[in-house]
Amino acid sequence: MWLPLLVVLGLLFLYRWYRQSLILDNLRGKYVFITGCDTGFGNILAKNLDRRGMRVLAACLGETGAENLKKETSSRLQTVILNVTDSESVSSAAKWVSSIVGEQGLWGLVNNAGVSIPCSPNEWMTKADFAKVLDINLLGLVDVTLNLLPFIRKARGRVVNIASIAGRFTLTSGGYCLSKYGVESFSDTLRREMKPFGVKVCIIEPGFFNTQITNTQALKADLKRAWEKTTEEVRQSYGEEYYLQSLKCVDAVKLVCNNNLQLVPQAIEHALSAVHPWTRYSVGWDTKLIYLPLSYFPTFIIDFILTIAQPRPAQAK
């Protein structure tokens, strides 16, 4: 009784694997624009694609990051200084891309630039704290995409947006999860609109990786800043012990971080080079085995799990 069903399932998985293993063979010489190449995933991806013979247009925030990247790559790779929160900078970068790609168009756009801080308890933050993260992770991504989309359409290429499992499963306070939910939404609508043009839009959803996003020293410094800037009434409500325990929780972040940083660039490479790329790439063991399954649980169960180890405010009931 079960044998025919198992055979059918096996054949479906085999077909699925074969379909996803089909890779385009004409990618050498194609242009890919990547944001956030100073460090982390963007930096690794730029080097990987350069070794594959693709023409990488790497956007860095600072001159130092750009110069270091040039030293480690071939003459094919070109860099540009880009601040995704500055529309003039984005427009200037788009003109630079246009002058390089010409009629060939842009095969790939990888929106990788992002930050995680300010990231503290919501009541300790200001509107400006939220805006800083949203401006980089979401609005900057939208601005870059809208400016480069004509070149992507010309090449019938790919848009790859780096979201996070935090865009499917809310893990932290502050603007980070808000921005990643927004990236998911923007990517979904863009994918539907671009389908008639032959443009594919993919979303990368990494879990916890050992990058600047999860830099515990920076996270603790931000927590201290928020604690010291909030009002005396708020500090009394939460209590000193709550703040100290929160610092210890930040230290625990490193315990769950994946050190294999190549996993995310490899997923992006597949999105850029596969004949049939995935719509979403969930990257990391924690994403696949913990956070993604939990995202389908009832809300009260998720709330219970996430608040078990949460510090208790001084004036809690």
CB 119 within 8 Å of CB 172: yes
Helix or strand or coil: residue 75? coil
Q: Note if the bond before 118 is cis, omega within 30 degrees.
A: yes
Q: Which amino acid is at 34?
A: I
Distance between CA atoms of 50 and 258, rounded to whole angstroms?
Answer: 25
Residue among 300, 297, 295 nearest 282 (CA):
295
Q: What share of the chain is helix, strand, coil (3-state, %, to 5)?
A: 60, 10, 30
Per the CB < 8 A criterion, the answer to whether 57 and 107 are in contact is no
Closest CA to 244 of 176, 305, 308, 312: 312
Cα atoms in the Cβ-side hemisphere of radius 13 Å centred on 90 = 21
Rounded to whole angstroms, the Cα distance separating 201 from 187 reads 7
Q: Specify whether 181 is catalytic.
A: no
Cβ density class 175-185: b for 16+ within 10 Å, e for less:
bbbbbbbbbbe
Structure tokens, 62: 């600072």
Q: Which of 168, 167, 204, 202 is nearest to 188 (CA)?
A: 202
Catalytic: which of 176, 238, 242, 291? Answer: 176
Please, what's the largest Cα pairwise distance for the chain?
A: 69
Active site residues: 176
